[in-house]
Chain A
Amino acid sequence: MLARLSQRYGVLIALAAIIALLPLVFPSTYYYRVASLVWVSAFAAIGLNILMGKAGQVSLGHAGFFGIGAYAAAIGPAHLGLPSLAALVVGAGFSALLAYLVGRPILRLRGHYLAIATLGFGALVALVITTESHWTGGPDGMPVAKLSLFGWRAGGSGTWYWIAGGLLLGGAWIAFNLDETPTGRAFRALHDSEIAARVTGIDVNRFKLQAFVIAAVYASLAGSALAMMNGFVNPDQAGFLHSIELVTMVVLGGLGSVVGSIVGAAVLIMLPQFLTVFQEYENLLLGFIIIVSMIFMREGIVPTARRLISRGRA
């Protein structure tokens, strides 16, 4: 256990070092933006991975919570006179409440049924955002006030790089924390055998709900951060494609692996940037690469790599 503990802190330190040193190799300020996008997406993916990789429950509507966070950051300052940071907290609280209310009935469903129910939830959020145009700007989206803390305004992509990096470190730390606690063990137990978890005294509905709420708060915070960073929100951020993108990050990187979620986010954000040279074939190629990776690395990139490395050592 000690070895695993120090390994975990090792990962956090390595991650902090990467965040700190990466700007040294950025050829232009554009890369600050791409990296910030990776950090924010990775943060959302880590949260979703707690639900999917640890507790073993799927959500195909998670961008709904991302969208709620994003629009909270937009609507709070614009319509309610809330400071950005307060809007972010209110958005996260609202997402948690909504996850609790929605999760209670639907987390009793299993497998495909749960997938469809969460998909419906995501579609509903996107629909509300598109139709309530006097609040949200409708399909065109709306501008977002810049984050300001005690008179200091978070401006350029350089500043946001550090905020997003800090957020990611915090998110990874919490996810690691959870692993070796009664809650984290309950998640993993109900994933492996729900029936054994129940006879062991685990209230599986309660723990599924907790995982769902945690993942919703992660997504909401990521949404708020991205909205403030971009200075703009649009309904796509709550849409089905974005939900699928988040799930892909989690599965491609590796279910249950925190590092995997970061790698998955990096691949999904950066690959399209490299593939732009292929112009109209970009999406085709991206899909092809994802399919091939899943065929050859079924457990995801990071768990596969870990297995190969430990086999090489043995």
Chain B
Amino acid sequence: MTILKVDDIGIAFGGVKAIDGVSFSVDAGQIFSIIGPNGAGKTTLFNVISGIYEANRGRVELSGENVTSFTPDALATRGLSRTFQNLQIFQRMTAVENVMVGRHLRERCNLFADLFRLPSVIRQNRNTRDAALNFLGEVGLRGSADMLAGSLSYGACKRLEIARALAAEPNVLLLDEPAAGCNSVETEEIDRLIWRVAEKGIAVVLVEHDMKLVMKISHRILVLERGRLLIEGSPREVRDNPAVLEAYLGKHGARQPARA
């Protein structure tokens, strides 16, 4: 069942086309990877899908609903969740509070009840915290629950962002280079985590430079080059495609710099 449908998206910055006519669709439970050299437009595509940028043309559908040009919070309400390539954690909040914010849409939020911290607010807070602790457990950060997020290691912050995104119980999850800057053990953990997420029926869209990880876990792979779709297919089809070898692996080398 198609959850996310992207149709003929185009966006330009000052006349330069960052994304030019990209279409794809992702099913529930599918791991859909987007690869391409630095500057290909992967993050930009995520920013369009999650409502941070407004596309110049094209259409985005979530569960059949046209959500083109919706605001990020309206998209979150409809089950879209994401992480960021450049960390966007809430530094001055604890790890568990970060994940509790992820459950914002699952909570009742009433200003007057909150100002007086009514019993219902205290009860809800306890439930939210318990749920958040479980999500922290899923990414292996339960032991750091009450640490300030700003004091966590880079790899831990990456996983904290995933926990926060999962806490919303989304049906589409966009992950922008979750394994960047992580060591091999952490990458292995993220690999298993993504599997578990997809098994729950969540559609996962993954942008990742670690080709081993991508080839291993993806159902489908889309190759982006300078804002255009080069090829979309199974890991095998993509790996064996001469155009991909030429344009992506050939020119830039299999050992991409982890940064982008």
Interface residues of A (CB under 8 A from B): 1, 174, 177-178, 180-186, 188-189, 191-193, 195-204, 210, 214, 256
Binding site secondary structure of chain A: helix
- Specify which of A1, A178, A201, A202 lies most central, judged by the most chain B CB atoms within 10 Å of its CB: A201
Complex interface: chain A residues within 8 A of B90 (CB)? 188-189, 192-193, 196-197
- Contact assessment for A199 and B104 in the assembled complex, using a CB-CB cutoff below 8 Å: no
- Contact assessment for A182 and B114 in the assembled complex, using a CB-CB cutoff below 8 Å: yes
Complex interface: chain B residues within 8 A of A197 (CB)? 90, 101
A181 to B121, CA, bound (A): 7
Contact-residue bracket for chain B:
35 or more
- Contact assessment for A192 and B91 in the assembled complex, using a CB-CB cutoff below 8 Å: yes
Known contacts A196-B90, A198-B72, then 8 further A-B pairs from the complex at CB < 8 Å, ordered by chain A residue = A177-B115, A182-B109, A185-B101, A188-B92, A189-B93, A192-B91, A196-B84, A196-B164
Known A182-B114, A193-B88; judge A200-B125 contact (CB<8 A): no
Interface string of B55-95 (1 = CB under 8 A from A): 00000000000000001110111001110100011111100
- Specify which of A174, A177, A182, A184 lies most central, judged by the most chain B CB atoms within 10 Å of its CB: A182
Q: Can you pick out 12 interface pairs between chain A and chain B where the beta carbons lie within 8 Å of each other?
A: A1-B146, A177-B116, A181-B121, A183-B111, A185-B101, A186-B101, A189-B90, A196-B88, A197-B90, A197-B101, A200-B76, A200-B104
A92 to B84, CA, bound (A): 41
Interface residues of B in 32-55 (CB under 8 A from A): 50-52
A38 to B105, CA, bound (A): 40
- Contact assessment for A192 and B89 in the assembled complex, using a CB-CB cutoff below 8 Å: yes
Known A180-B125, A199-B82, A201-B168; judge A193-B89 contact (CB<8 A): yes
- Contact assessment for A201 and B89 in the assembled complex, using a CB-CB cutoff below 8 Å: no
Known A174-B115, A202-B104; judge A192-B50 contact (CB<8 A): no
Closest A residue, CB atoms, query B121: A181
- Contact assessment for A182 and B108 in the assembled complex, using a CB-CB cutoff below 8 Å: yes
Complex interface: chain A residues within 8 A of B89 (CB)? 192-193, 196
- Contact assessment for A199 and B52 in the assembled complex, using a CB-CB cutoff below 8 Å: yes
Is residue B102 within 8 Å, beta carbon to beta carbon, of the partner chain? yes
Is residue B239 within 8 Å, beta carbon to beta carbon, of the partner chain? no
A214 to B101, CA, bound (A): 21
A214 to B115, CA, bound (A): 10
A191 to B88, CA, bound (A): 12
Partner of A198, one of B71, B93, B109, B164: B71
Complex interface: chain B residues within 8 A of A189 (CB)? 90, 93, 101, 104
A141 to B115, CA, bound (A): 34
Q: How far is the CB of B47 from chain A (nearest CB, A)?
A: 9
Closest B residue, CB atoms, query A202: B104
- Contact assessment for A199 and B146 in the assembled complex, using a CB-CB cutoff below 8 Å: no
